[in-house]
Amino acid sequence: MSASIARSSPLAVLRQYYVLTKPRVNVLIIFCAVIGMLLAQPTLAPLDRLVWATIGIGLVAGAAAAVNCLVESHIDAKMARTAWRPLPSGTLTVSQTLVFSGLLGGLGMWVLFVFVNPLTAWLTLATFVGYAVIYTLVLKPLTPQNIVIGGASGAMPPVLGWAAVANEAPPEAWVLFLIIFVWTPPHFWALALYRADDYARSGLPMLPVTHGSAFTRLQILLYTVLLVATTLLPTAVGMSGVWYLLAALGLGARFLWLAWALYQQYSEALAKKTFRFSINYLALLFAALLADHFLRSVLG
C-alpha cells in the first residue's frame, strides 16, 4: 500500500473509488438507458424493472470505466486533465482497482440476470467488452478513427434500456443507437481540439494530433450534417411526431452553426462551447423524443 493511500481517510478513499466510475460519463449513460426504457412501450414500465435495470447497467458501466482508468493510467499521468485521477496520483493501487471493478461488474451482471432479463445482461456484457477491451486496449492506441469505431459501445445504452423493458431490441432501439453513434465523433473531437497538446504528450493517435486542426474541424462539420439527418429517422419510422421533429431541427440548426463557425476559424473558446453544447444537445434531443412519445400516448 502506498503512503498516499495509507494517509487517506476512509471517506477520501471512497471518493477515489467513486471517481474511478467516471460519474459524469456514467450519468449520461444511465440517462440514455432510461430513455430507451421509457420509449420501449406506450405506458410506463413497472417501476421495479426500471430501478433494477438502471442499477445493473450503471454498475457495469462503472466497472468498465474503472478498467479504462486502469489500462490508461500511464497515459492519464501524462495529461493535465487526467493526472489527478486515482491511479496516476497514487491514491489507489492496481489491485484495488481490479477488485473494485470485478465486484462492481459482477454485482451489476447478477442484478441484470436475476431481476431484469438475460438478453439485457448479455448485451450489457458485450458493451463492457466493447468499451473496456476492444476500444480501450485495441482501437484507442491504434487508429485516429478510434472514437468512430469505438463509439458503438458508447451508443448501446438506449438499446440496453429498451431490452430491459421489452426483452427485445427492435429497429426502433437501434435508431437511438445510431443517433448516439453519429453524435460521438463531433462531440469528442471538439474536446480533442482544445486538448490536442495533452493527447500529443500521451502518444494517443487522436485526430487533431495525426491530421491537424483543419481536417478535424472539417470532420466535425461533416459528422454534424450526418447527425442532423440521422435525428430525423425517429419521425421517418413513426417513432415520433411533429413536436420531436421541430425540436430536432432547432437543436440541429444550433449544432450546425457551431460546427460551421468552428470550421471557418478555430478558437479554443469556440471548441469548448461546441463540446459543452454537444452534451446538452443529446440530453435535450432525447428529452424531446420522450416528451413527444408520451404526448402522443395521452392524445391518442
- Is the pLDDT at 297 greater than 80? The verdict is no
- pLDDT for 168-218, tens place per residue? 999 999 999 999 999 999 999 999 999 888 888 877 788 999 999 999 999
Residue 283: its pLDDT value, please?
93
Q: Is 131 exposed, middle or buried (0-12, 13-18, 19+ CB in 10 A)?
A: buried
**CA Rg, the chain, in Å?**
20
Confidence of residue 3 (pLDDT cuts 50, 70, 90): very low
Q: How far is it, in rounded angstroms, from Cα 187 to Cα 216? A: 12
pTM of the predicted model as reported, rounded to 2 decimal places: 0.90
Q: How far is it, in rounded angstroms, from Cα 21 to Cα 216? A: 29
* Through-space distance between the first and last CA atoms of the chain, rounded to whole angstroms: 62
Q: Which domains does the chain have, with CATH numbers?
A: 1-169 (1.10.357.140), 170-300 (1.20.120)
Overall size of the chain counted in residues:
300
The single-letter DSSP state of residue 44 is: P
- Is the pLDDT at 22 greater than 50? The verdict is yes
- pLDDT for 103-149, tens place per residue? 999 999 999 999 999 999 999 999 999 888 888 777 777 777 778 77
- pLDDT for 230-281, tens place per residue? 999 999 999 999 999 999 999 999 999 999 999 999 999 999 999 999 999 9
CB-CB contact of 58 with 124 (8 Å): no
Q: How far is it, in rounded angstroms, from Cα 161 to Cα 159? A: 5
- pLDDT for 46-63, tens place per residue? 899 999 999 999 999 999
